[in-house]
Each structure stands twice: as C-alpha cells, then as structure tokens.
Structure 1
Amino acid sequence: MMAHTQEVSMERLHLDQIDRSILAALTEDARVPLVALASQVHLSRNAVKQRMERMERQGVIGGYTVTPGHAGGSPVSAIVLVYRTDRMRGGAVIAEISQIPEVRRCDVLSGDFDLLVMLEADSMDRIGEIWEMLAAVPGVANTVTAVSLTRVVDRA
C-alpha cells in the first residue's frame, strides 16, 4: 500500500524533518502500524496520529491506496482499440467497459477508433476473455488488440 501525496510545496506548509520522515515511511508502506512509525520518529503514537491528520487536512496526504499484487507473476498488459457502431452517441458501451475490473484506463479517441482501453490482467487467458466480452458488447463494431511484451518505462 502506498500513501498518495499531493504536489504541494512542503516548505510552504512548514513541514519539519519529522513530518518528512512520516511521509517517507507512509509512502513506502501506508499500512505501517502507528506504534512502529512512532518508534521510528521518536514520538508518541498520538503525536504521530495528530501530525498525519494535520497533513491530511493540508492536502499533503491525499489518501491511502492499495495497489493490487500479482501472485502468479507479472501482470499481462494489453491495449484494445474499439470502433463503435454509434460513433459515441450513447453511454452503454462505456458503462459496460467500466464494469470490467481489469480495465485500467479508457480514453475517447479522435480518428478511426473511438475508444482506447488499457487492460492489466493476471494471465493471457484473462485478456482473451476480456477481449471476447468487449467484442460482444452491443454497439462495438470492431476491435484491434495489442499485447505488451515488455514494459521499459513505467511512470505510474
């Protein structure tokens, strides 16, 4: 789990070294127990909790997120370009796509294809199942799918 920090000037918010240490520890593991975090920064559990709450109010900490792991190895990524029969006049196709948990992103495009759907699944079999689901959605006229072989840059 990682703590999401907002792009806020830390100097402007008067964050001291202890605040920065707390942020660094939460960014590394947002599930770190308060007792362990307090021991790391040599403060009481309550003092650390108050500092975290203050940083949340200031927008320095924007939330805590679970990043799903992939127990079976590396995830499989694919891009599906979708051509719609209705040329984006209704929301049914996007509503169907948004129900698929492996969809990481869906963009409306200009040009020949209407949607760019980015998938991340545990296996090629699951990518195939999702492709079949997308192709069967009423309003989808055609798809083109590309599977990622190797990720060389990841700024997520």
Structure 2
Amino acid sequence: MSRTTVQARVESLERRGIIVGYTARLAEEISRRMVRAHVTIVAAPKASAAVVSALQRMPELRALYSVAGVFDLLAVVEAEDVPSLDAAIDKIGALEGVERTQSSIILSTKFER
C-alpha cells in the first residue's frame, strides 16, 4: 500500500474510535533498570472515586485495576530506584481514603505480551 493509503486508513480508524491512542515502549535496557511493584489497596467505600482520582495524578503509576477480593484496587508502580519506589508506595498509603496497602516488589519478568 502507498503511504497515503495507509495514512487515510489510520485516520479513518481514529475517527471511528477503533484506534484510540498510541503507546511508546521503552528499550529493554532502559526498562530493565526500572524498579516495579504491585500495590494492592483497600479504599474506604465512600472514598473510592477520590482515591482513584488521586492515584491517576501520580506519575509513578503505570496502571490501576479494580479487583474483586480482599483488596479493591491493584496499582502497578514504577520508579527509577528503590528509594523513589518506596516514596511512591508511602504516598499511596498516605492518601485520604486509603485504609490499607500491601506491596510486592517485582524481581524479574518471566515473560510479557
């Protein structure tokens, strides 16, 4: 296909809401240096929306999931070093409406899709 045809097709997919955004992936050598953790969060029932809003503003959070079970939310936190990760986890725990957290530092990635 020509470049113009591909551009027109991508623009059409964007207009129709099929393509809604783009993601940049870091080179493995950069990504490997980052420290990550899964942080499970229990939020006060009436504070859940405010907690989610506050977490969304934290640049260290890469993803936030609503989960079923003992915890309400699962956050994926990423930082350049352990002290920065520790500070981010402390910041999560200090948020108004956060009742409890539990953190699991990711030691290695076995595979990722």
What is the identity, as a one-letter code, of the residue corresponding to 2:53?
A: A
Q: CA deviation at 1:52?
A: 3.0
Unaligned 5+ segments in structure 2 are none
What's 2:89 paired with? 131
Q: Give the C-alpha shift of residue 121 in structure 1.
A: 1.7
RMSD in angstroms over aligned alpha carbons? 2.6
Which residue matches 2:51?
93
In structure 2, how many angstroms separate the alpha carbons of the residues matched to 1:68 and 1:142? 32
Partner of 2:7: 53
- 2:65–2:73: 8 Å Cα contact kept in structure 1? yes
**Is 2:47–2:97's contact at 8 Å kept on the other side of the alignment?**
no
Deviation at 1:133?
0.5
**Higher RCO (C-alpha 8 Å, min separation 6):** 2
Show CA shifts across 1:1-27 (max 9, x none). xxxxxxxxxxxxxxxxxx3xxxxxxxx
Give the conservation status (yes or no) of the 8 Å contact 1:72–1:122.
Answer: no
Q: Which has more radius of gyration?
A: 1
Q: Does the CA-based 8 Å contact 1:88-1:114 persist in structure 2?
A: no
Residue 45 of structure 2 aligns to a residue whose secondary structure is coil
Shift of 1:112: 1.3
Residues 88 and 79 from structure 1, CA distance in 2 versus in 1: closer, same or farther, beyond 3 angstroms?
Answer: farther
TM-score (norm 1): 0.59
Equivalent of 1:119 in 77, 88, 95: 77
Which whole-Å CA distance do the structure 2 matches of 1:152 and 1:72 have between them? 14
Partner in structure 1 of residue 110 of structure 2: 152
Cα distance between partner residues in 1 of 2:7 and 2:111: 34
Paired residues, what number? Answer: 108
Residues 65, 109 of structure 1: alpha-carbon distance in 2 compared, 3 angstrom cutoff: closer
Cα shift at 1:132: 0.9
Shift in CA distance, 72/57, structure 1 to aligned 2, threshold 3 Å: closer
